[in-house]
Homo-oligomer: A and B are copies of this chain.
Amino acid sequence: MGTTQLESVPEPKYWHLKTVLSEALDSEFSVGEILPNERDLAARFGVARATLRQALEQLELEGRLQRRRGVGTTVAPPRMGVAVGSRQHAWPDAGDDWQAVDCTVTAPPAAVAAALETGPDEAVHTVRRSRVSHGQPVAAELLYVPASSVPALSAIDAPSGPARARGVLRELQRLELDGRESAVELGSARAEDAKELDRLPGAPVLVVTTRFLVEGRVAALSVATYRADTCRLTFGDAGGVVIDEGPERRAS
């Protein structure tokens, strides 16, 4: 007696801790509420702070918690659905949620040049945009457009900055799009993107790479990094049927 189980498969402490905390979040906390600080929590569960942090990190990765240095740990709202490529045959969204930040003309990174199938020397417009949803920054995008894709642009010779960025986008819309191909993968935020996303460098992000095709060529390449903690990327094309957005939690 005493011990009910031999613990033949000893679960890691942080894993068990995560389960306990997760259940507590469901039953005893509401969105936005702040948790006790890490030192107190660790003491309460009788573990080292590092162990507790391992559990918190997982919960943050799953979008259940939000931690901010100097502030505290709060219960995160359910992830927001963010439409990505809902219209398969559309150019980059230029809706209210996207905002052009800057535009420069540089030689792109080698990997980008390869994907664009351009020579390493060809000039490429690099448009920086940020996306806001529900009042929060959710994505930072770099849109690479070979100068040859928007020949009219060189004549305009708009100054660098948002104005030029909008010019590039405007010129792009005029091309007839054959199709686009997207890929999603996990990454970690570069320092530059992290700042725009209001996260620390290295924060987990979903990187969406999209190739825009015109006449069999890649006319533009978009690399968008979405906050993985707050976003659920939706790729819906439900034949026009609208499905409501419930505050569902993933089954576990």
Contacts and interface: CB of A to CB of B under 8 A. Distances in A.
Interface residues of A, number: 62
B206 A184 contact: yes
- The oligomer's copy count stands at 2
Given A184-B232, A185-B79, A202-B15, A238 B251 contact: no
Contact of A186 (B61, B85, B109, B111): B61
A40 interface: no
A250 interface: yes
**Looking at chain A's contact residues, is the secondary structure mostly helix, strand, loop, or mixed?**
mixed
Contacts of A218: 243
A211 B244 CA distance: 12
Given A184-B232, A188-B62, A239 B108 contact: no
A204 B88 contact: no
Interface stretch (A65-73, A130-138, A163-171, A175-183): A175-183
